[in-house]
Each structure stands twice: as structure tokens, then as C-alpha cells.
């Protein structure tokens, strides 16, 4: 029987306030160059996909240096001019995404968490993110409903590695068969949960949000 439902963060409970490419492009203006939003978005998507598949994963878990590689790759795709100040630009972008106002909760996030707690279920966050996530969560009242928050950069392991799932179980005192994960990524969320012996369900918006994903778990 499921006792705890863990959620992924980005793409599951939270989304960026605006497309990443738009943010990246907007921040280049302060450094004397206006990049193209579409190229920045394309670069970001390509870099993120490469990292997910292992092509940019020299870093064991995604932290500041990993994000710097992603931003640098995005700038290359957008054809940043010679001498563009990567270090200063990256600092500004990195700090921006540490702020709660850079993020939006999906409309059903708060209601779903409150409903699960009312029904006596534990809730948690299991996210491939860096330590900025804790600052981001401070801007959302619903985060107080989370009994456990497990972040890959702090755990030293990231989904789909079974180690981070074992850590989440240990922190909450749960057995694998008592845990479920709702996420948005077949690679890290579904595969990770399956290998850890957890139940799982994926959101696929707009057709399948949190409520539909929970229904897939018979919850």
C-alpha cells in the first residue's frame, strides 16, 4: 500500500515563469548583445537533452558547474560574439533562477498536496536540482505540505540512480513498495522508480496533470 507520494519538481510541480530561451536572451542585453530567443531556447533544449543522455555529465550531479556548461552551450548555439563575458553573464542567470519569482506552480499543485495530506498520505519532493531549490520553495506556501525534500546535489546522487531513492526511503522510514513517484521524465522518473521498486506515474500536460497522474496510481 502506498504511504508516501514523492513528486519531481521542475515540469511536475513547477515551471519557469517564462521560456528559458526568453530569459537567457533578455539577460544578454545587459552585456551589450541581444541574442535571438529561438536560438537560445534551441541551445538550452539541446544542452539539456545531451546532459540527460550522458553527453555533458562529467559532473556526477547537476550543480553550478553543470549549469555553466549548459549556459555556455546555449550561447554557442546562439552565436554569442567573441569576447562575450560568460562568467558575469552566467552569474546573473544562475542567481535569477534561485529566486521564487522566476518560477510558477502549476494550477493544481497546491490543491493536490493539500488533498493528499488530508487523506493521511505523506508527501515528498525528489528532484534532480541543486541547492537553489530550497530558496525557490520558500516562495510557495504549499511547500510546507512536503514532509520530505530530497535534492540530488545534496544527496550526491540523481535519478535514475537507485541510491537517491534508497536515501529517500531511509529519510522517511519507508519500504520501496510504500513509495510512489510522480514526475515528467521517462528517463529519470519512470526508469528510476521502476529500478527502485517504486510505483510511478508521469504527467504529460496538457492531457495529463497531477490529478490524472494520481488517478493512474489509484489515488
For 3-15, how does the pLDDT look when each residue is reduced to its tens digit (9 = 90+)?
A: 999 999 999 999 9
Q: Which of 55-69, 70-84, 132-146, 165-179 has the lowest mean pLDDT?
A: 55-69
Q: What is the pTM of this model?
A: 0.93
Question: What are the tens digits of pLDDT across the range 71-126?
Answer: 999 999 999 999 999 999 999 999 999 999 999 999 999 999 999 999 999 999 99
- Residue that finishes a domain, picked among 55, 71, 100: 100
- Residue that finishes a domain, picked among 79, 100, 121: 100
Say yes or no: 121 and 205 in one domain: yes
Say yes or no: 80 and 170 in one domain: no
Average pLDDT over residues 179-203: 96
Query: Of 20, 22, 28, 87, which is closest to residue 47 (Cα–Cα)?
Result: 20
Say yes or no: 86 and 129 in one domain: no
Count of domains for the chain = 2
> Is the CB of residue 24 less than 8 Å from the CB of residue 35?
yes
Say yes or no: 11 and 48 in one domain: no
Amino acid at each position: 500500500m502506498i504511504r508516501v507520494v514523492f513528486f519531481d519538481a521542475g515540469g511536475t510541480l513547477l515551471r519557469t515563469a517564462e521560456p528559458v530561451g526568453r530569459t537567457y536572451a533578455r539577460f544578454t542585453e545587459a552585456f551589450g548583445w541581444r541574442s535571438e530567443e529561438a536560438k537560445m531556447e534551441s541551445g538550452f533544449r539541446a544542452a539539456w537533452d545531451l546532459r540527460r543522455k550522458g553527453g555533458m555529465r562529467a559532473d556526477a550531479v547537476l550543480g553550478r558547474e553543470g549549469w555553466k556548461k549548459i549556459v555556455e552551450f546555449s550561447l554557442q548555439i546562439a552565436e554569442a560574439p567573441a569576447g562575450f563575458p560568460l562568467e558575469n553573464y552566467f552569474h546573473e542567470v544562475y542567481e535569477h533562477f534561485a529566486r521564487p519569482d522566476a518560477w510558477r506552480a502549476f494550477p493544481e499543485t497546491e490543491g493536490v498536496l493539500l488533498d493528499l495530506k488530508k487523506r493521511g498520505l505523506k508527501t515528498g519532493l525528489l528532484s534532480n536540482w541543486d541547492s537553489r531549490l530550497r530558496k525557490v520553495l520558500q516562495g510557495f506556501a504549499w511547500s510546507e505540505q512536503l514532509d520530505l525534500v530530497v535534492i540530488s546535489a545534496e544527496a550526491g546522487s540523481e535519478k535514475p540512480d537507485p541510491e537517491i531513492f534508497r536515501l529517500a526511503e531511509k529519510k522517511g522510514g519507508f519500504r520501496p513498495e510504500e513509495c510512489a513517484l510522480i514526475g515528467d521524465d521517462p528517463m529519470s522518473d519512470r526508469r528510476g522508480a521502476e529500478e527502485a521498486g517504486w510505483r510511478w506515474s508521469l504527467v504529460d500536460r496538457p492531457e495529463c496533470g497531477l490529478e490524472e497522474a494520481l488517478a493512474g496510481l489509484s489515488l
